[in-house]
Amino acid sequence: MSQERLQRVREELRRQGVEAFLVPRADEYQNEYVPAADERLAWITGFTGSAGMAVIGLDKAALFVDGRYTLQGQQQLGDLPIALEDLNSEVIARWVGDQLRSGQSLGFDPRLHTDPGLALLKEYLGERDIALKPLEQNPIDTIWLDRPASPCGQACPHPYVFTGEHSSEKRQRIATLLAEKRVDALWLANPESCAWLFNIRGDDIPHLPVALSSGVLFRDGSAILYLAEPAVGEGLLEHLNREVMVVTEKGQLFEGLRRRHVNRIWVDPTISNCWTLQQLRALDLQLLLERDPVTQAKACKNSVELAGSRAAHERDGAALCEFLAELPTAVAEGLDELAAVKLLYSKRQQREGFRGNSFETISGYGPNGAIVHYRVSEESSLPMAPEGIFLCDSGAQYPDGTTDVTRTVALGEIPALAREHFTRVLKGHIAIATLRFPQGTCGEQIDAIARRSLWDAGLDYAHGTGHGVGSFLSVHEGPQRIGKAVTNTPLQPGMILSNEPGFYLTGQYGIRIENLVFVKESVDYQGFLQFEELTLAPIDRSLIDTTLLTAQELQWLNCYHQRVRKIITPLVNEKTASWLQKATEAL
């Protein structure tokens, strides 16, 4: 990144008549992962984390990141004259308010933001007579001369053997909810919603197997689906049985609303960008602004999807175990962080159905492991030695399931406190894994249970305890999650979540233990729910201080390891099977 880019953006701001500009890491669909063409934040600041916002003013600029990315942000900004601040709406609002004066304007691209996302900023600036001004042309796009083209790969049918429910059945199920809400149509803003509802997948977005798409579902179950023209093949049209009108111009969606005489439409304001809401309001439609019902429906996996996830995790667990078994030898032969990523990828490539990583692998040795969402590069990759701690957070996409697993391993001698820290994280992990909770419980109500052992020692971690996971969809799926933030989303049977408490000692090491679990009805108590493990890989026994574990915690660990050994051993080579036998011995 260069100061020249900052200067060119500032010249464009002057041309468009604004004193500052918001730069989110976002595309028009509000995807977590964005195509290269939408990596504007990285282009202007150098920051490559999955969440962030910049404000470029005529004189000053700031990058806002959350606690996961503080160290990464410092490193990637380098000597650019950009301040690093906390990613918080109030912090952003105050920073802008301090930089701009009454009568000045903060510009934004309405395709890259949502109304709720801008609400606090709009209110704060409005009180100071500072305008929040939508721009017809993104200032960065006008000067990013070698900007990559937007992706438009072919959309493909996702077979019933993996979905367990036909698109027509899903559409009728959601249409029933539209009738209950007395709306004529539902706006499908997000490619994930379209992927689930129409049983299609694609490869337009890194790590997320979807085609860039949006659509409209009508109250009678019929629908219009927008895809770029290259995405539409005869196989897709046959899959949809001509029951869904496929259009290749986004304006045809709005035209379809006029043609069908829609008066009232359901729109999720959290995933529908400001520009879309402007277009719908221009049609003089009544808007029901509530969460997209598809989001909730796809979060609760059916029996076919859960069976697929189990199968995918077995194959993925086998690949991970082969990697872990080879790790000590590879380290002795000079393995570095980047080579570790490639080695693990090669193991997954050998497994049936592998379609790529579900996110960019976190491969952090020693101090790099303390960077919560560290992304290794040629420049940052540390050589690994037979000492210290290595954290590896990775996942894969398979047609039958999405995986996400973190294992922290000792490569040899470790710092004195590391064993206590690891064991406290493990106690939190087990506390969630063994929890029974009444129906209606939300993730925020159980988050503290995972932190209790760390809190007892005056420690904590700056990320959530668990996120939702899709079925051959996003590895970070809502609305379910476990964290401090309020979701008001009860955990329900069929939901898949991660269980990933951690601890990070800056400059020394990071610790995280992550399994995916799914919610099911309790086998012990009527009206209660519990979790069942999906992930299958050993937890490093050499890092555990057994004196800190209760008898019940030790029993859980030994039973889990016994299950891992039983299921994974037949799927791996002889060397890994021998390693697995030792790695899962009872403590």
CATH code of the domain covering residue 209: 3.40.350.10
Same domain, 479 and 389: yes
Which residue, 421, 450, 445, is CA-closest to 433? 450
Among residues 295, 321, 355, which one ends one of the domains? 295
Across the chain, how many H-helices and E-strands are there? 19, 27
37 phi-psi bin (left φ>0, alpha ψ -120 to 50, beta other) = alpha
148 within a domain of the structure (yes/no):
no
Q: Assign residue 312 the CATH number of its domain.
A: 3.90.230.10
Task: Phi first, then psi: give them for residue 286, nearest 5 degrees.
Answer: -80, 130
* 133 and 277 assigned to the same domain: no
Number of domains comprising the chain: 3
What does the block give as tokens for 70? 């503080």
Q: Which residue among 143, 172, 206 closes a domain?
A: 143
For residue 585, being part of any structural domain is answered with no
Structure tokens at 192: 């994930």
State the virtual CA torsion across 202, 204, 208, 209 in degrees, nearest 10: 10
Is residue 144 a contact partner of residue 206, using CB atoms and an 8 Å limit? no
396 and 264 part of one domain: no
Q: Are residues 261 and 317 in the same domain?
A: no
Q: Is residue 151 part of a domain?
A: no
CA distance 81 to 162: 50
Is the Cβ–Cβ distance between 281 and 289 less than 8 Å? no
DSSP state of 216: E
383 domain residue, yes or no: yes
Distance set, CA 304 to CA 87, 143, 245, 457, 510 (Å): 39, 48, 28, 43, 36
For residues 410 and 542, the answer to whether their CB atoms sit within 8 Å is yes
Do residues 275 and 310 share a domain? no
Domain boundary among 143, 177, 198: 143
Task: Tell me, yes or no, whether 132 lies in a domain.
Answer: yes
| Shared-domain flag, residues 363 and 281 | no
Q: Are 130 and 163 part of one and the same domain?
A: no
Question: In this predicted structure, what is the pLDDT of residue 77?
Answer: 87
- Measured N-to-C along each axis, helices 191-198 and 167-181 cross at an angle, to the nearest 10 degrees, of 120
Q: How wide is the angle at C-alpha 65 spanned by C-alphas 63 and 68, nearest 5°?
A: 150
Which two structure tokens, joined as six digits, stand for 237? 């049209």
pLDDT for 1 equals 55
Q: Which amino acid is present at 244?
A: V
Q: What separation in angstroms does the CA of 357 have from each of 23, 49, 559?
A: 27, 17, 29
Structure confidence at residue 375 (pLDDT): 86
Q: What SS3 class is residue 365?
A: strand
List the chain pLDDT tens, one digit each, 587 residues: 578 899 999 999 999 999 999 999 999 999 988 899 999 999 999 998 888 999 999 999 999 998 777 878 888 888 899 989 999 899 999 999 999 999 999 999 999 999 999 999 999 999 999 999 999 999 999 999 999 988 888 999 999 999 999 999 999 999 999 999 999 999 999 999 999 999 999 999 999 999 999 999 999 999 999 999 989 988 899 999 878 999 999 999 999 999 999 999 999 999 999 999 999 999 999 999 999 999 999 999 999 999 999 999 999 999 999 999 999 999 999 999 999 999 999 999 999 999 999 999 999 999 999 988 888 989 899 999 999 999 999 999 999 999 999 999 999 999 989 999 999 999 999 999 999 999 999 999 999 999 999 999 999 999 999 999 999 999 999 999 999 999 999 999 999 999 999 999 999 999 999 999 999 999 999 999 999 999 999 999 999 999 999 999 999 999 999 999 999 999 999 999 999 999 999 99
b or e along 258-286 (b: 16 or more beta carbons within 10 Å of the residue's beta carbon)? eebebeebbbbbbbbbbbbbebbeeeebe
210/322 same-domain check = no
Three-state DSSP state, 409: strand
Structure-token pair, residue 296: 């909730």
Tokens in use for 271? 């995933």
Q: Is residue 150 part of a domain?
A: no
Mapping DSSP to helix (H, G, I), strand (E, B) and coil, where does residue 227 land? strand
Query: Taking a C-beta distance cutoff of 8 angstroms, is the pair 535, 560 a contact?
Result: no
233 and 260 in a single domain? The answer is yes
| CA distances in angstroms from 514 to 59, 268, 390, 457, listed in the order given | 43, 31, 14, 21
pLDDT of residue 374: 87
Residues 493 and 345 placed together within one structural domain of the fold: yes
Both structure tokens of 306: 């859960």
Residue 254, both tokens: 């709005």
Q: How buried is residue 63: exposed, middle or buried, by Cβ count under 10 Å (0-12/13-18/19+)?
A: buried
Strand segments (E) across 184-247: 185-188, 200-201, 213-218, 223-227, 244-247
Identify whether 586 is part of a domain. Answer: no
Domain extent for 191: 156-295
Q: Is 84 exposed, middle or buried (0-12, 13-18, 19+ CB in 10 A)?
A: middle
- Domain identity same for 446 and 523: yes
Distance from C-alpha of 149 to C-alpha of 146, rounded to nearest angstrom = 9
Which helix or strand (DSSP H or E) is residue 12 part of?
A: helix 3-16
Contact 404, 499 (CB under 8 A): no
**Closest of 530, 523, 538, 518 to residue 426, by C-alpha:** 538
How many Å from the N-terminal Cα to the C-terminal Cα in the chain? 51
What is the C-alpha separation between 560 and 35, in angstroms, rounded? 39
If we measure between CA atoms, which residue out of 246, 168, 144, 152 comes closest to residue 205? 152
Residue 477 belongs to a domain: yes
Same-domain pairing of 410 and 558: yes
CA distance 369 to 58: 37
pTM attached to this predicted model: 0.92
